[in-house]
Amino acid sequence: MEIGIKGEQKLTVTADKLASNVGSGLVAVFATPMMVAAIENTAAASVEAHLEAGKTTVGTLVNVSHVAATPEGMEVRVETELTEIAPNGKILTFHVAAYDEAGLIGEGTHQRAIVDKARFEAKAQAKKG
């Protein structure tokens, strides 16, 4: 894995992605949580092929601004770029940006941690007691 890995994803804003339908507001525009989910998905997918068997990444930090509204029916493009790998090799930092057909709608940074998938899931399940 090395700095500079890029990811890109395109999606169309559909009714199920509107703020008024996901509980993040009353307006019929692309919801911030859906933008964040697309950012996380794009970053995760961009590095997946570079991970050892049994490893995956989990989101640990999202610091993005949502600067413009996007109505239903427009296409959104998410771009990610791996900009930093922590010295321990386990924390990945990405520059992220999202655009609709009119321009920039969001940008910021996102961090993901590399974890052992089975161990991570087992630890989470153990919380149930």
Annotated binding site: 59, 112
As annotated, the binding site for CoA includes 59
Residues with catalytic roles: 32, 40, 66
As annotated, the binding site for substrate includes 59, 112
Does residue 17 contact residue 31 with C-beta atoms inside 8 Å?
yes
Does residue 98 contact residue 41 with C-beta atoms inside 8 Å?
no
Does residue 1 contact residue 91 with C-beta atoms inside 8 Å?
no
Rounded distance between C-alpha atoms, residue 98 and residue 89, angstroms? 27
Rounded distance between C-alpha atoms, residue 67 and residue 14, angstroms? 19
Does residue 79 contact residue 42 with C-beta atoms inside 8 Å?
yes
